[in-house]
Structure formats: C-alpha cells, structure tokens
Amino acid sequence: MKQRLVVIGAGMASGRVLEHLTDSAPDAFDITLFNAEPRGNYNRIMLSPVLSGEKSYEEIVTHDDAWYAERGIACRFGEKVEKIDREMKVVEGANGHVPYDKLVVATGSNPFIIPLPGHDLEGVIAYRDLEDTQQMMDMGPDNKVVVIGGGLLGLEAAAGMAAHGVDVTVVHIMGHLMERQLDEAAGYLLKKSLEDKGIKICLQANSKEILGRSGKVRALLLDDGTELPCDLLVMAVGIRPNTALAQDTGLAIGRGIHVDDQMLTSDPDIYAVGECVEHNGEVFGLVAPLYDQAKVAGQAILDEEASFVQKSLSTKLKVTGCDLFSAGDFADGPGREDIVFRDPSRGVYKRLVIEEDCLIGAVMYGDTADGSWFFGLIKDGTNIDEMRETLIFGPAYQGGDTADPLSAVAALPPEAEICGCNGVCKGDIVEAISAGAGDLGAVRASTKASASCGTCTGLVEQLLQVTLGDGFEMPTTQSICGCTDLTHEDVRRLIKGQELKSQAAVWQELGWNTPNGCHVCRPAINYYLLADWPLAYQDDPQSRFVNERKHANIQKDGTFSVVPRMWGGITTPEELRAIADAADKYDVPTVKVTGGQRIDLLGVKGEDLPLIWSDLNKAGLVSGHAYSKGLRTVKTCVGTDHCRFGTQDSTGLGIKLEKTLWGSWTPHKLKLAVSGCPRNCAEATCKDIGVVCVDSGYQISIGGAAGMDVKETETLCQVSTEDEAIEVVMAVTQAYREGGKYLDRLYKWLGKVGMDWVKAQVVDDLQNRDALVARFELSQSIYRKDPWAEHVREKAQTYGPIADFTLEAAE
C-alpha cells in the first residue's frame, strides 16, 4: 500500500516540498493537502505587484487545479486543520479526519497585530493574503489609509496603494525606514523616493490608539496628540510563526516549531518547513531559506541524505523606482571596517562592511546593479584584500594590475559623467586639461565641472592628476574634517540651497565618506541644521559635546560645574539661600563667583545633576547656559537705579536682553554687557555685543573679545529707545547665527563679512532687520526654555548608570 502523506498549509514552502516529492518519486505517496485559505499555492511575495496593478492574481498562481490533479493530490482548500492526533496518526480537518504516515506542517506565520485600543475595529487589517490585498485595492483617490510599520511589507503596501492615488501615510516607530535592512543613509534616500511618490512618512511616531466611529476605523491617534484620519488601517509590524497546531499536539516549540537539520520535528513522522519553524534558534521571514528547507524536507521524506544550512540573506524592496539592496550582517562584532561611496547627484549610496578581509554585509541604494556580485562575495567568503581599494566600484574595476583609486578614475570611459549637476563627462574634462586647464579653477571655468554642488571636486582633481601626472599637485583644502572635502562655508550654503534638513541628508547629498561623521563635523552640522531649520530639524544631543548634552561643564576629574542663571547679574536672598542649600546638600567642594556675574558650583557628580537642578528649579533658578555655544550672560552695571552717573536703566535693559536671548544657540559662545554710562563698569566694549548707555540713547558695538585674543568692540550704531536696542541686538545675533562658521566667535565672523555689510543688514535696511528679528523669534519659540527642567522631567534616569553591580553583595 502507498504511504499516506498529509500536508498542512498550501503556501510557498510546502509548494516546493510537493514539487520535489512528486518530481523525484511520483508514486511514493497518497497526498492530501489542507489549506485554510480557499485556494492553492500562489506566489505570496507577488501580492505587492498585484496590489499596485502591475500584475493580476492569475499571473501569480504557482499551482493551479490542473497541477494538483495531474499529481493526484487531494485538495482540501478552505478547510482549516483543527487538530493533529499523534497517537492515532490522524489530522482532523473541519470536514473530517485524514490518517497519515508522514505529516508536513507548513502553516506559515501570523501577522502581528499591536493590541492598541481599537485594533479590532472594522477596517483594521494586516498584509498577508489575497483578502487583505483586495481590501487595499478597493481604496481609491478619495480614500485615506494609514500604514503602521515602515518595514518591507508596510512600504510595499503603501506604495501599492499610492499607485492608485490613495492618500497614504506611513507611521514608523524608528528613526529611519527599514532599519533592519538599511542604515540611516539608505533609509533617508528611500524616504525621499517614497515622498516623491506622494506617500507621507512619520518617523519616530508612536501609535497610541485607533479611533473608530460605529465600529469602523476613523483615525489613528499618535501619542503626541496627532490624529491621522483614515478609512483603512494596515498594520505591518512583523510576523509570528504560526505554531498553534504544533503546540496543541505537544511538539517541541520555541519561537517556532523546533526542527533539526533534516526539518524533522520532535516527532519522527512529522516534518515542518517554512516560516512556522525554528532552526538553530533562528526563525525565517524570506523565501530563499524556505526553498532550501523545502528541498531538504523533500529529500529527507524520501530517506535521502540532505541537511539544511542557513545562509546569509539579501533583501530587495519591490517598489518601482526604489532601488535598494541589503545583504549580510550589520550587527555588532569586533574588527569591522566600512567602505562608503555616495553619488549625490544620482542619489546613490553604497556601503560595504568588511571583517577579516571578507565582505560580510552590503547596503545599496539607487544603483544596485552590483548587488548580486557583492552578495556572491559575502556568501562565498571570498578574500577581498587584493581589491579592497576598488571593491566599492564593483566587478567592472576588478582584475586590473594596480588597485588604487586613481586607476579606477583612469579606467572610467570618456563618456562617464563626472559632474552630475552640469552634466560634464570625463572626456570633456580631459580635453580641457589637455588644452591647458592646469588646476581646479581653470577646469571649472572652462567646463563648469564641480562648479555647482562641488561634490565631484575630488574626482576632478584625480583626473587632473591622472592626466598631468606629477605636473599637478593635489591642493590641501580647508575641509571641515576628514569626513568631507567641503568647507564650512560650502556646507552652510548647500544646507540652505539644497534644503537639507537632517544629518542623514547632509551626509548623503554632500557625499560624506564616513557613515555618520565624526566628533569634529557632527556638532557643526547639528548647529547649522538647527540654526537654518528651527522647526523642521530636531536638535541631536548625541552630536553635541558633553557640556551641551548634559547642560553642565565637565571638569578635569569628570565632575561637573553648575551655574544657575541670574538675569542681568541680579539675584535675591531666596536664590542665594537655595544655592547655599544645594551646595551643602550635594557636597559641592568649590563655590566661585564668575567673571560673568554668576555663582558657579564646581565639583558636582554627574549623577547628582538632575537632583541639584530640581532643587534649584524649585527656587525659580534655571540653567545659566555657562556651557553652551550660545547666549552666556548679559553683564550689567547698576545704572540709574543706584549710580550717580547713570544715564539709563542699564540693569533693566540687561535683564530684558537676557530674557530675550537666553537659550539661543550661536556658532560660538555669545557674551553681552550693558553699561549705564561711558565709564563702562560692565566692560561692555570687550564683549561680543556691548551696549553703552548715553543721555541720548544706546550705543551698540560688536565684535569684542577678552580671551586668547583681546579686542575692543567696533561701533555698530546708536539708537534712541530700549526697544530698538533690543531689536538691533536680536538682528545682529541672528545674522551671526545664519552666517557664522561653527566655532568662530562673533569678531571672527565680523572680520569676514565686514562692518559695512552688517550695518547694511541690520541698521540701514529696516525691512531686513525685521525679517532677521522674526527669524530669531521663530527659533526662540523652540529654544527659549530651561533645559534643566526638561531633563529633570524627561531624562533624569539617563544621568545614572544603566546597571549597577556595586550594589550587589560581593560573592
């Protein structure tokens, strides 16, 4: 008698098992196939092209009725298996029992549904099968859809619906899309392409609740209060192996059904394949390993030798126009090295991860042509030491005798485009050089190459070198740091010109050669972005020096100093008492009066910072920003309040200025002073901005310094009212914020732009002054706040250790 084989689940994995079995041993088994879905095996991964309209369902059917009939397979489609009785060796379907000799469990996985309030409303679906796909296809241009999850499935769902004109918003909890397959740079490019397709994308967005109306979904509520209206909500946040049947029948399971290398479960007559299994601690979500499993299971069932080995995987996203590729491993491990290549004009990003002379991971965006070649190197563990220098250029450049970047440039064909902005190819440039253009400037003038975004400058220089040989000396430019060839000025200009609003955008569009910058460029870029895009860009504490990240000054022994703000240098007995109490309570070893008329508590332990701040906050004291590249202090004299020479209320103006400017970030620290008469007791003429009061008004001068350089301020203007003085100070500060190079004090900026330019901007052109003031105010609407209170409220725990083993009793 023929053996009886029962298969549970007609999916992609079991489909392959059946192909192997019926090909190699057509008569070995009587086969019964159950499937909960009311149809046979189709190519599930092609549901996305069906959704977008690029394919029809008929085109993606893998096994049709005729296929099953030819092989004599008894199909029980639309019938769910309820139970496996291992003692009796029968499978219980909804419509009756079937006995088995061998059983294959291939139940796939279940989409994970976040148990948000409202998840059971009508119109909340997953993306797994044809029914889900159909519901999405029913949406049209009048509909709004929210997709939770910015992974592979969520994005394919979003793009598929957007192709039908549906208004789609993707809500993703992480900082960039597809974070498991892509790094930040590739994630940024992907987001950009999807946004070009009209898809809205909310990153770092936490879903809070699904709102409904008469039992049907109406909107998604985020925890920041945003409401995203929708007619359909698709959750694509992950899958869980479908192990319910196996568990009920007592098979060994972990995250999935445990199988050995032969795909055998803990029962010698039951095999399992596909997303429902767990092999060596791993579960699966892509078809490539499932096909390997299916082959092994097919052979094992026929008693042939075979074992399943896990291999590295590659991913592509099936969205037209979003060319991405990711393969191998990006997780942590010692001894890894990155090679990064970016071509901003074409939106290309490539990153290779190398360990011990082997390629172990690759991410690519925009140009994935070499993906399979890299994937081959990863899978085969090829030693790449010989071609390391040119590896990133792909197979086309390998095999030459010398491996150096110049030869890669030399190898480019004449029609290769060098300057994307101006469409200049290698041939044009070489011709210009041969005709006498001997340096970068001359090439720029004659061909326009590198004259726009400037990112091909390096390539042009390499061409000069290749063409002229020793006749060309590579220039040393003042780039920000080793991560880029661009200068601060270039970067500031490009951030504005190209509207770059995130660090990832800067790194990509401006061709950074490191994954995420270094300690030199990160603080600068962070500053430029927050100064230029106060609303769109969110300050990144991790790109700040410790002092600005922790809102206190680090001392040489790793303790911190704490300086509360005293507006205009004025304080009260209550404040002094609170400071004294705090000094006692936190064992502050040194209490010092600063040059800026504040009190400095030196030697506070990092862990105590939120505690001492909280105490000081209670007395009304806020951060003095004594650590920031931003407004520090406004020093004042006592002016008309007490001094017999006083001409104006210098203290009052100082306090007003400080209340206007505090919290603002500037390229370097910014110190102000207001003196009540030209005797200048507040030393206003060696500050970044100084005001000296006179009978007829206020003299404003800028660009002083009293540090390593000592400089007297230069007169900017005289104004007659306090309000106008405040406006001029705001406008100058904003002009410096917008134009200054990071870490240039105001006097250095002034030296570059010149006093005449500043006067034209803030004194003569009143309209422009108003605009500067308005932009400053806009930025201050975000930054004029006490960071201490905020950290006490939201981040206090991060000041302590994540774990403390000194608290445990010693062994």
Partner 1 sequence: MSWIDIGHIDEVPLRGARLVKTHIGCIAVFRTAETEVYAATNSCPHKGGPLSEGIVHGQSVTCPLHNWVFDLNTGEAQDADEGRINTYPVRLEDGRILLDDSAVTRRSAA
> Where on the chain is the footprint of partner 1 (CB under 8 A)?
174-176, 179-180, 183-184, 330-336, 338, 514-519, 522-523, 541-546, 549-550, 554, 556-558, 606, 798, 800-806, 810-811
Q: Which of 104, 194, 440, 637 binds ligand SF4 (CB under 6 A)?
A: 637
The residue range among 268-276, 278-286, 639-647, 764-772 that interacts with ligand SF4, by the rule CB under 6 A, is 639-647
12: contact with ligand FAD by CB under 6 A:
yes
The helix or strand, by DSSP H or E, that contains position 319, with its residue range, turns out to be none
Q: Answer yes or no: are the C-beta atoms of 199 and 172 closer than 8 Å.
A: no
Determine the distance from the C-alpha atom of residue 608 to the mean position of all C-alpha atoms in its chain, rounded to a whole number: 31
Taking CB within 5 to 8 Å according to partner kind, which of ligand SF4, partner 1, ligand FAD, none is near residue 279? Answer: none
Dihedral angle sign, alpha carbons of residues 665, 666, 668, 671: negative
Query: Residue 9 half-sphere exposure, CB side, CA atoms within 13 Å?
Result: 25
Min. distance of Cβ 585 from partner 1 in angstroms?
Answer: 22
Taking CB within 5 to 8 Å according to partner kind, which of ligand FAD, partner 1, ligand SF4, none is near residue 153? Answer: ligand FAD
Contacts of 297 (CB under 8 A, 6+ apart): 17, 20, 104, 262, 263, 271, 273
3-state secondary structure of 525: helix
Give the residue with the Cβ less far from ligand SF4, 151 or 639. Answer: 639
Contacts of 19 (CB under 8 A, 6+ apart): 294, 298
> Both tokens of residue 553?
């000054």
The residue range among 22-30, 53-61, 344-352, 634-642 that interacts with ligand SF4, by the rule CB under 6 A, is 634-642
290: contact with ligand FAD by CB under 6 A:
yes
Min. distance of Cβ 186 from partner 1 in angstroms?
Answer: 12
Secondary structure, 3-state, 503-515: HHHHHHHCCCCCC
Min. distance of Cβ 676 from ligand SF4 in angstroms?
Answer: 3
590: contact with ligand SF4 by CB under 6 A:
no
Taking CB within 5 to 8 Å according to partner kind, which of ligand SF4, partner 1, ligand FAD, none is near residue 675? Answer: ligand SF4
> Both tokens of residue 61?
């059917």
Contacts of 168 (CB under 8 A, 6+ apart): 144, 145, 146, 147, 158, 161, 162, 198, 199, 200
Taking CB within 5 to 8 Å according to partner kind, which of ligand SF4, ligand FAD, partner 1, none is near residue 645? Answer: ligand SF4
Min. distance of Cβ 241 from ligand FAD in angstroms?
Answer: 9
Helix orientation angle between 521-532 and 722-739, rounded to the nearest 10 degrees: 130
Helix orientation angle between 766-783 and 722-739, rounded to the nearest 10 degrees: 80
Min. distance of Cβ 790 from partner 1 in angstroms?
Answer: 15
Q: Which of 5, 18, 36, 392 binds ligand FAD (CB under 6 A)?
A: 36
256: contact with ligand FAD by CB under 6 A:
no
> Both tokens of residue 247?
């568990």
Min. distance of Cβ 271 from ligand FAD in angstroms?
Answer: 13
What would the x/- binding string for ligand SF4 be over residues 675 to 704, using CB under 6 A?
A: xxx-xxx-----------------------
638: contact with ligand SF4 by CB under 6 A:
yes
Min. distance of Cβ 798 from ligand FAD in angstroms?
Answer: 38
Min. distance of Cβ 326 from partner 1 in angstroms?
Answer: 13
Contacts of 166 (CB under 8 A, 6+ apart): 139, 140, 141, 143, 144, 145
User: What is d(CA 530, CA 537) in angstroms, rounded to the nearest whole number?
Assistant: 6
User: What is d(CA 122, CA 131) in angstroms, rounded to the nearest whole number?
Assistant: 14
Min. distance of Cβ 274 from ligand FAD in angstroms?
Answer: 2
Min. distance of Cβ 694 from ligand SF4 in angstroms?
Answer: 10
Q: Report which of 505, 527, 532, 530 is spatially closest to residue 516, judged by C-alpha positions.
A: 505
The residue range among 28-36, 177-185, 206-214, 486-494 that interacts with ligand FAD, by the rule CB under 6 A, is 28-36
Min. distance of Cβ 180 from partner 1 in angstroms?
Answer: 7
Which residue is closest to ligand SF4 by CB?
676
Q: Show the CA angle centred on residue 702, arms to residues 699 and 708, nearest 5°.
A: 135
> Both tokens of residue 447?
């061909």
Q: Answer yes or no: are the C-beta atoms of 296 and 263 closer than 8 Å.
A: yes
Tally the residues of the chain.
811
The residue range among 12-20, 130-138, 641-649, 757-765 that interacts with ligand SF4, by the rule CB under 6 A, is 641-649
167-170 own/partner pairs: CB under 8 Å, 24+ apart: 167/141, 167/143, 167/198, 167/200, 168/144, 168/198, 168/199, 168/200, 169/144, 169/145, 169/199, 169/200, 169/201, 169/202, 169/228, 169/230, 170/146, 170/194, 170/199, 170/200, 170/201, 170/202
Query: What's the first-to-final CA gap in the chain, in angstroms?
Result: 67
Min. distance of Cβ 666 from partner 1 in angstroms?
Answer: 20
440: contact with ligand FAD by CB under 6 A:
no
Q: Report which of 303, 301, 289 is spatially closest to residue 379, judged by C-alpha positions.
A: 289
Taking CB within 5 to 8 Å according to partner kind, which of partner 1, ligand SF4, ligand FAD, none is near residue 285? Answer: ligand FAD
Taking CB within 5 to 8 Å according to partner kind, which of ligand SF4, ligand FAD, partner 1, none is near residue 522? Answer: partner 1
Taking CB within 5 to 8 Å according to partner kind, which of ligand FAD, partner 1, ligand SF4, none is near residue 48? Answer: ligand FAD
> Both tokens of residue 809?
């009793």
User: What is d(CA 690, CA 713) in angstroms, rounded to the nearest whole number?
Assistant: 7
Secondary structure, 3-state, 644-667: CCCCCCHHHHHHHHHHHHCCCECC
Give the residue with the Cβ less far from partner 1, 410 or 481. Answer: 481
Determine the distance from the C-alpha atom of residue 270 to the mean position of all C-alpha atoms in its chain, rounded to a whole number: 45
Q: Answer yes or no: are the C-beta atoms of 211 and 185 closer than 8 Å.
A: no
Give the residue with the Cβ less far from partner 1, 584 or 811. Answer: 811
Give the residue with the Cβ less far from ligand SF4, 643 or 782. Answer: 643
What would the x/- binding string for ligand FAD be over residues 93 to 112, using CB under 6 A?
A: -------------xxx----
User: What is d(CA 399, CA 406) in angstroms, rounded to the nearest whole number?
Assistant: 15
643: contact with ligand SF4 by CB under 6 A:
yes
Q: Answer yes or no: are the C-beta atoms of 183 and 150 closer than 8 Å.
A: no
Number of residues that bind ligand FAD (CB under 6 A): 34
Q: Report which of 285, 282, 308 is spatially closest to residue 295, judged by C-alpha positions.
A: 308
128: contact with ligand FAD by CB under 6 A:
yes
Give the residue with the Cβ less far from partner 1, 142 or 804. Answer: 804
3-state secondary structure of 584: helix
Taking CB within 5 to 8 Å according to partner kind, which of ligand FAD, partner 1, ligand SF4, none is near residue 740? Answer: none
Give the residue with the Cβ less far from ligand SF4, 555 or 781. Answer: 555
Helix orientation angle between 287-301 and 12-24, rounded to the nearest 10 degrees: 40
Min. distance of Cβ 124 from partner 1 in angstroms?
Answer: 25
Q: Which of 17, 31, 32, 48 binds ligand FAD (CB under 6 A)?
A: 48
Q: Show the CA angle centred on residue 515, arms to residues 511 and 521, nearest 5°.
A: 70
Min. distance of Cβ 800 from partner 1 in angstroms?
Answer: 8
Give the residue with the Cβ less far from ligand SF4, 63 or 632. Answer: 632
The runs of H, that is alpha helices, within 478-608 are 488-497, 503-509, 521-532, 546-550, 573-585
Min. distance of Cβ 240 from partner 1 in angstroms?
Answer: 13
Give the residue with the Cβ less far from ligand FAD, 242 or 502. Answer: 242
Give the residue with the Cβ less far from partner 1, 478 or 797. Answer: 797
Q: Which of 6, 11, 33, 484 binds ligand FAD (CB under 6 A)?
A: 11
Which chain residues interact with ligand FAD by CB under 6 A?
Answer: 8-14, 34-37, 44-45, 47-48, 80-81, 106-108, 127-128, 153, 156, 242, 245, 274-275, 285-288, 290, 318
Question: Footprint of ligand SF4 on this chain (CB under 6 A)?
Answer: 637-639, 643, 645-646, 650, 675-677, 679-681
